[in-house]
Amino acid sequence: MSLLAYIVRRLLLMVLVLIGVSLLVFTMMMLLPPGQRVAIYVTNDRVSPAMMDALIAKYGLNDPAPLQYFRWLRNLLHGEFGYSITASSPVLKGFARFLPVTLELVLYAAPLIILTGIFLGTLGAVRKDTAMDHVTRVLAIVGFSLPTFWLGLLLMMIFYGFLGIFPPGALSTDVRNIVFSDPTWHPYTHLVTIDAILNWRWQVFWDAFYRMILPTLNLVVINSALIMRLMRSSMLEALGQDYMMTARAKGADRKTLFRRHARRNAMLPVITISGITFAELMGSMVITETIFDRKGIGWWMAQAALQLDVAAIMFDVLFLGTIYVVVNLVVDLIYAYVDPRVRLS
């Protein structure tokens, strides 16, 4: 019962935060002149300067702010997000095109980030003050300090520029032709690597997979540092607790001590932090997609910011904010499930 109550409470809080997010985005929009805000309401780009005043009047862009807010909210709920010039299509259509590219990268990078962080962090704590510990600590702090864009550029310079492997872009031209115009290709999920397996096209799979290696590497190096550090320190803390003494006194071996007793406790804060890691992943996604020329949400966002594509930007912020709020909810629920102290209090 209490878990249910907890979920309900969290859901209510989530709605509240989402309303806050929408207000924040709306405030940002209102900083722009009405002429630029028109893009959020129109459904095509055939807007001539002459029509502008008419459109501003039509959508009531000089009305009092609260009125505009509720009108905008109504549009959102109807799925009307305006027209994106960078996608040259209505926002939602562009979104459907860009999302799978990003999603696929997240699908590969996120588990790797978490596993790498936990593995190296545990290693450092278990072998505290040995060479292994120092190496992982230095790795973590370097990963923390490296600019995402620089690491990406270096990787490109070494692998693509010098060795001539791992070219940028999400797909080669041949493969793109297959994916976008071959009638025998069935886009079941729109995630190319998974579709390739389902379509039994190994050439496509390999091409997509191959081009994902460098961006994934880039994301993992940058984003696993936080988890690594937290895992190390919380593992050290767990190892110093009294219950570890109890476990040793009952004759537990190293494996039981580390895996069963210490790691379970040490993982708890890592679960909490994985939400933050997700947010950072989104940030580095913008940079990584820009550098490796993968046309996903992050790339779209960067382009939109450069070309003042207001509709696309506001939509992306809203979308990423919502996703992040949901991820945090899931993280909290997992935490409540794993830690008996939260579960029943």
Per-position x/- string for 16-35, each x denoting binding to other proteins as judged by CB under 8 A, each - no binding? xxx-xx-xxx--xx-xx---
Q: Which is nearer to other proteins, 97 or 248 (CB)?
A: 248
What's the Cα-to-Cα distance from 50 to each of 27, 34, 38, 319, rounded to whole Å? 27, 14, 13, 32
Question: What backbone torsions phi and psi does residue 276 show, to the nearest 5 degrees?
Answer: -65, -40
Q: How many CB atoms lie within 10 A of CB 46?
A: 8
Q: Which is nearer to other proteins, 172 or 233 (CB)?
A: 233
Binding to other proteins (CB under 8 A) within 120-139 occurs at 137-138
Q: Give the span between the Cα atoms of 42 and 46, in whole angstroms.
A: 9
Tokens of 90: 């209505």
Q: Which is nearer to other proteins, 17 or 197 (CB)?
A: 17
**Of the candidate residues 54, 141, 165, 334, the single one contacting other proteins (CB under 8 A):** 141
Minimum separation from the CB atom of position 265 to other proteins (A): 6
- What value, to the nearest 5°, has the Cα angle with vertex 29 and ends 24 and 33? 150
Q: Which is nearer to other proteins, 80 or 280 (CB)?
A: 280
Tokens of 140: 């973590």
Per-position x/- string for 182-221, each x denoting binding to other proteins as judged by CB under 8 A, each - no binding? ----------------------------------------
**Of the candidate residues 1, 5, 131, 249, the single one contacting other proteins (CB under 8 A):** 249
Question: Which secondary-structure segment (H or E) carries 38?
Answer: none
Question: What backbone torsions phi and psi does residue 90 show, to the nearest 5 degrees?
Answer: -55, 150
Q: Which is nearer to other proteins, 92 or 244 (CB)?
A: 244
Binding to other proteins (CB under 8 A) within 257-296 occurs at 260-261, 264-265, 268, 279-280, 282-284, 286-287, 290-291
Count residues near other proteins (CB under 8 A): 81
Q: Give the span between the Cα atoms of 205 and 192, in whole angstroms.
A: 7
CA torsion sign for 268, 269, 274, 279 is positive
**Of the candidate residues 56, 99, 247, 273, the single one contacting other proteins (CB under 8 A):** 247
Q: Give the span between the Cα atoms of 21 and 24, in whole angstroms.
A: 5
Minimum separation from the CB atom of position 65 to other proteins (A): 15
Is residue 79 part of the contact set for other proteins (CB under 8 A)? no
Is residue 337 part of the contact set for other proteins (CB under 8 A)? no
With CA atoms as reference, report the closest residue to 76 among 13, 9, 21.
21
Q: Which is nearer to other proteins, 87 or 204 (CB)?
A: 87
Per-position x/- string for 146-185, each x denoting binding to other proteins as judged by CB under 8 A, each - no binding? xxxxxx-xx-xx--xxx-----------------------
Binding to other proteins (CB under 8 A) within 54-73 occurs at none
Binding to other proteins (CB under 8 A) within 221-240 occurs at 237, 240
Is residue 51 part of the contact set for other proteins (CB under 8 A)? no
Ranges of H-type helices in 78-212: 91-126, 131-145, 148-155, 173-181, 192-198, 202-210
SS (H, E, C) 185-250: CCCCCCCHHHHHHHCCCHHHHHHHHHCCHHHHHHHHHHHHHHHHHHHHHHHHHHHCCHHHHHHHHC
Is residue 251 part of the contact set for other proteins (CB under 8 A)? yes
Q: Which is nearer to other proteins, 187 or 283 (CB)?
A: 283
Is residue 344 part of the contact set for other proteins (CB under 8 A)? yes
Name the segment binding other proteins (CB under 8 A); options: 10-18, 112-120, 172-180, 211-219: 10-18
Is residue 314 part of the contact set for other proteins (CB under 8 A)? yes
311-345: string of b/e by CB count within 10 Å (b at 16+)?
A: bbbbbbbbbbbeebbebbbebbeebbeebeeeeee
